[in-house]
Structure 1
Amino acid sequence: MEARAGAGPRRAGGVLGAAGPSSANRATRTPAAPWARFSAWLECVCVVTFDLELGQALELVYPSDFQLTDKEKSSICYLSFPDSHSGCLGDTQFSFRMRQCGGQRSPWHADDRPYNGGAPVALQREPAHYLGYVYFRQVKDSSVRRGYFQKSLVLVSRLPFVRLFQSLLSLIAPEYFDKLAPCLEAVCNEIDQWPAPVPGQTLNLPVMGVVIQNLLPAPVVLSSVHELDLFRCFQPVLTHVQMLWELMLLGEPLVVLAPSPDVSSEMVLALTSCLQPLKFCCDFRPYFTIHDSEFKELTTRTQAPPNVVLGVTNPFFIKTLQHWPHVLRIGEPKMSGDLPKQVKLKKPSRLKTVDTKPGLYTSYTAHLHRDKALLKRLLKGVQKKRPWDMQSALLRRHLLELTQSFIIPLEHYMASLMPLQKSITPWKTPPQIRPFHQEDFLQSLEHAGPQLTCILKGDWLGLYRRFFKSPHFDGWYRQRHKEMAQRLEALHLEAICEANIETWMQDKSEVEVVDLVLKLREKLVRAQSHQLPVKEVTLQRAQLYIETVIGSLPKDLQAVLCPP
């Protein structure tokens, strides 16, 4: 998006995913915590510069007391600069993702359940990784011994709001490079006044403006905080988008070799977002270098390649990762006439030298037939100069419908494994969720398969069979099973609260009554901490039941269960 200037504060707006239950503002829960509101958005802000003796060096971390381990500092330094093969002159924006190595975790948002409970899975906080959003500037400067000014401003967060943070950087980085530390401190103080992110709410986020000709503050409105320009990212691979979608669905190892970190990171983020609303459960690194602390772990030849999407710019990786089953090499964007030039599908055996031409190098055969009508429509849109946001919307809708067509039969089958509500009785342990039998599911596809919602032909059964072996099936199943178990427990709590507690207590021993109190309390605590989907009236009735049951016990037991 284009950065504009203004003398006064600006607003970056956007909607945080789908509407969901609101979460309490962390700053109001912990008013004494320093940088509480800031930390709801960012872990820290870093400045990385090029030192003639040290190479990339961490010049500044803000807030200054935020603790990063030496390994994390080293990773941020290397990942915040394009490698020497990229030759990025001017300003470049890109993203990276790195594993947390035991450094600080802000205590005032250690409990992410209120936010994550209302956010779509793709927008939930990263529990074990840092996301870095980089604005790198390299310009000629005769006052510097090396002849170039080279510096990166980096926002480190756990939130995958790539569009919001890149837009924020485009506003503040040019100002920072001119005015340095005082400007950065002012911006961080403004962010510390932002309300906490709440799923489903439109954001009003004032941030320092930069001067432009008309001297008027102007709003910067984002349609979302996270969505990339999908069509621009996928332009060179439109003919292979469905195959790439399948590779992502199956969690296949993929290397994206791009000419620069911005192209690399955008392509990786576009690929990992094309499964929405399904959560991407594999590892991904939008920009990865040979200096990364996990380089040996991720590139070893002693075992099968891990389930990870790597974005790289150094051609050295072609030699290092020749054993990987899928390599996507993309060059600088080119046109063939008035249409975007498409990379060709090639066999991995042709991936031999650092001069290898652009292409998708894989032996994989797609299970589904290509949607030629979509491709024709998108290419016609290019010729007619249809706005890129409309092109992206078309492509995103196609991928969304494809994912939903694949997932809906799984959802329907999973729902059939839930015990019937009439089988849930107040005073008995609720029945178990039935096990997922893959063959039973595959047999159900004849009458309730993807063909009901998708016109694409192909080997859907083969795709499901491979999906069952992928991290995404495991991630999806665990999440759905957890949700169903919570729903089952909530229904059981509702059944208890609708029963006649006095009648039940008539022939029960004190031990049984005390046991009921303890179990009800446990359920109540879990329900109140957003782990159980129950209504407020049920919570109130459960509390009343606890008080009623305790009141029926002898005074000495009451004192134990309700200490002063």
Structure 2
Amino acid sequence: KSAVINTDGERLRALGAGGSVPLGRTSDLLYTIDVCWLGGAACLTYCLSSLLQLVYPYDFRLTEKEKTSICYLSFPDSYSGGLGDTQFSFRLRQSGGQRTAHYEDDGEYNREAPLTLQRESAHYFGYVYFRQVKDSSMKRGYFQKSLVLVSRLPYVNLFQSLLQLIAPEYFDKLEPCLEAVCNEIDQWPPPVPGQTLNLPVMGVVIQVCNLLPAPMVLPSIHELDLFRCFQPVLIHIQMLWELVLLGEPIVVMAPSPTVSSEMVMALTSCLAPLRYCCDYRPYFTIHDSEFKEYTTRTQAPPNIVVGVTNPFFIKTLQHWPHILRVGELRMSGDLPKQVKVKKLTKLKTLDTKPGRSSCQGIQRKRPSEVQSALLRRHLLELTQSFIIPLEHYIASLMPLQRAITPWKNPPQIRPFRQDDFMKTLEHAGPQLTCVLKGDWLGLYRRFFKSPNFDGWYRQRHKEMTQKLEALHLEAICEANIVAWMKDKSEVEIVDLVLKLREKLVARCQHLPVKEETLQRVGLYIDTVIDSLPEDLQAVLHHH
């Protein structure tokens, strides 16, 4: 189930005193959206003065550590006299180990979703809508509140757009508005790849996928306006892509959580379709439980991209190898307004001219969405040029199909040998598809040491293993099972039945196997069992 955390003190006291508060269908209110959209552990949090006062529904479980972190991450951690509304995002490490989820999940979503959109298992995403306006009725003289949507899914575009609709009404009308919204979201259909979904909420239809006219159209649930995010650092885009590819520690220092979170999210998305497998924190504060871990000088900084706004970090993180300062941080010291990139040039291996060429569109005054599309395509071509040689090499490690025989275990995938791969680059390297010149070999060598290579290799090895299992299953189906059984003992035949049943679990594992193949395996099992004595038949049918 999903949860909403609210600051209504009266509601809190009623719950604390054991009183019952009418919350509508809270036990199953957000079950549909939770399973299909927010991906479990989804909640809206409403924070005031860094106090978490109510969970909605109130049986949603957060650890004390998570509650504290959400409170601190829900407010800008920098001096800002600005009034009005602001939005930003954060990412929070789950604490307290695995716990019983509020939703049933067999992994189907992650099997169908692209790698970059899969549900996180160990982190929460937080999407914040913060309002600061003058209000003489408040002790401080200001109304300062945040509405936060927490999810395991990186749907930054969808959830921030949703908050733009909900938050202003919610600050004004509180629970009645929220319960109405939750009832509407409860009726949303599950996301289906390639389909346009119309999602009604508060009199507006949010349309995901840009196909039909609608009051509020989102071309994507997750893609940021890359051009707007990267505009101040376009001249460094090539270098930044390399740093992200290699999983290098990067700190983004920005004047606001909005700028820091968007820059971090943009950086981690620039490897698509390759998944960024390191940690990242779009917005990080001095109160975070990992603060000591990230600021210690006794060990190297972790593989992470972290966004900060508090000037205190300028000194605390000055030992980090890569510091990106965007915009003007409000501080007593005299910090230049322009972007600063510290030590980045030391890692540069490729020519950065194409990165500069992407700046030319600014002078032509193209629309931002066109600029974003060009920038996204440039980064995509760069990533593909780098990853295609790796894909070709790993495909060559797959056993030949003729080596797969029905009555033996499938052959093993050959090991990935870095030296062998490097030898292929002379004739099949990135230079075939990319105009960039430079030390590609050096880039690959450093990539092999990064979590991004480890994540890519594990995923591809898993997919290839599943493919081998599928081919083995098909080989069994094409064999003459009756002829095979003629000279086999009962023990061997029973062993075959058990192995075939194990193969049928392929249906649950979503192996790339045709439905008709699975049906034939079922028939094979029946044929084999029928050839056995009745007592054995009864035992096998029973199991």
TM-score, normalised to structure 2, is 0.89
Specify the alignment match of 1:318 in structure 2. Answer: 314
Aligned mate of 2:121, from 118, 123, 127: 127
- Kindly provide the amino acid, as one letter, of the partner of residue 44 in structure 2: C
Is 1:197 the counterpart of 2:191? The answer is yes
Specify the alignment match of 1:371 in structure 2. Answer: 353
- Measured on the aligned residues, the alpha-carbon RMSD in Å equals 2.0
- Kindly provide the amino acid, as one letter, of the partner of residue 380 in structure 2: L
String of CA shifts for 1:51-102, please: whole Å, max 9, x gaps: xxxx411133322221111111111100011014244421000000001113
Is 1:37 the counterpart of 2:19? The answer is no
Specify the alignment match of 2:535 in structure 1. Answer: 556
Specify the alignment match of 1:546 in structure 2. Answer: 525
Specify the alignment match of 1:349 in structure 2. Answer: none
Aligned residues of 1:38 and 1:188 also touching (Cα < 8 A): no
Change (3 A) 1:488 1:47: closer
* Stretch moving more, 35-44 or 411-420: 35-44
Following TM superposition, by how much is the alpha carbon of 1:295 offset from its aligned partner in structure 2, in angstroms?
A: 1.2
Following TM superposition, by how much is the alpha carbon of 1:174 offset from its aligned partner in structure 2, in angstroms?
A: 1.0
Following TM superposition, by how much is the alpha carbon of 1:293 offset from its aligned partner in structure 2, in angstroms?
A: 1.4
Specify the alignment match of 2:234 in structure 1. Answer: 238
Aligned mate of 1:156, from 128, 135, 150: 150
Aligned mate of 1:248, from 227, 244, 248: 244
Specify the alignment match of 1:29 in structure 2. Answer: none
Change (3 A) 1:218 1:411: closer
Q: Separation in 2 of the partners of 1:195 and 1:252? A: 39
Aligned pairs, number: 502
Following TM superposition, by how much is the alpha carbon of 1:356 offset from its aligned partner in structure 2, in angstroms?
A: 4.2
Report the 3-state secondary structure (helix = DSSP H, G, I; strand = E; otherwise coil) of the residue aligned with 2:347.
coil
Aligned mate of 1:108, from 103, 112, 116: 103
Following TM superposition, by how much is the alpha carbon of 1:202 offset from its aligned partner in structure 2, in angstroms?
A: 2.1
String of CA shifts for 1:268-324, please: whole Å, max 9, x gaps: 000000000001100000000000112112222221110011000001111111221
- Unaligned regions of 5+ residues in structure 2, if any? 1-26, 206-212
- Kindly provide the amino acid, as one letter, of the partner of residue 544 in structure 1: L
Aligned mate of 2:379, from 399, 404, 408: 399
Aligned pairs (5 A) from 1:295-306: 295-306=291-302
Change (3 A) 1:327 1:109: farther
Following TM superposition, by how much is the alpha carbon of 1:415 offset from its aligned partner in structure 2, in angstroms?
A: 0.1
Following TM superposition, by how much is the alpha carbon of 1:104 offset from its aligned partner in structure 2, in angstroms?
A: 5.1
Aligned mate of 2:175, from 181, 190, 199: 181
Following TM superposition, by how much is the alpha carbon of 1:498 offset from its aligned partner in structure 2, in angstroms?
A: 0.6
Q: Separation in 2 of the partners of 1:371 and 1:202? A: 38
Is 1:276 the counterpart of 2:256? The answer is no
Aligned mate of 1:331, from 304, 314, 327: 327
Specify the alignment match of 1:64 in structure 2. Answer: 58
String of CA shifts for 1:320-344, please: whole Å, max 9, x gaps: 11221111011159xxxxxxxxxxx
Specify the alignment match of 2:435 in structure 1. Answer: 455
Following TM superposition, by how much is the alpha carbon of 1:434 offset from its aligned partner in structure 2, in angstroms?
A: 0.6
Change (3 A) 1:33 1:517: farther
Report the 3-state secondary structure (helix = DSSP H, G, I; strand = E; otherwise coil) of the residue aligned with 1:515.
helix
Aligned residues of 2:30 and 2:185 also touching (Cα < 8 A): no
Specify the alignment match of 1:77 in structure 2. Answer: 71
The sequence identity of aligned pairs, in percent, is 74
Aligned residues of 1:46 and 1:60 also touching (Cα < 8 A): no
- Kindly provide the amino acid, as one letter, of the partner of residue 276 in structure 2: F
TM-score, normalised to structure 1, is 0.86
Change (3 A) 1:104 1:193: farther
String of CA shifts for 1:226-267, please: whole Å, max 9, x gaps: 000000000110000010000000000010000000000000
Is 1:514 the counterpart of 2:509? The answer is no
Specify the alignment match of 2:404 in structure 1. Answer: 424
Change (3 A) 1:34 1:559: farther
Following TM superposition, by how much is the alpha carbon of 1:384 offset from its aligned partner in structure 2, in angstroms?
A: 2.7
Report the 3-state secondary structure (helix = DSSP H, G, I; strand = E; otherwise coil) of the residue aligned with 1:185.
helix
Higher relative contact order (CA 8 A, sep 6+): 1
Specify the alignment match of 1:9 in structure 2. Answer: none
Change (3 A) 1:106 1:202: farther
Specify the alignment match of 1:49 in structure 2. Answer: 47
Following TM superposition, by how much is the alpha carbon of 1:106 offset from its aligned partner in structure 2, in angstroms?
A: 3.0
Report the 3-state secondary structure (helix = DSSP H, G, I; strand = E; otherwise coil) of the residue aligned with 2:406.
coil
Aligned residues of 2:33 and 2:188 also touching (Cα < 8 A): yes
Change (3 A) 1:155 1:179: same
- Kindly provide the amino acid, as one letter, of the partner of residue 228 in structure 2: R
* Stretch moving more, 356-365 or 534-543: 356-365
* Stretch moving more, 264-273 or 117-126: 117-126
String of CA shifts for 1:339-395, please: whole Å, max 9, x gaps: xxxxxxxxxxxxxx96443401115231110134x533x433222321000000000
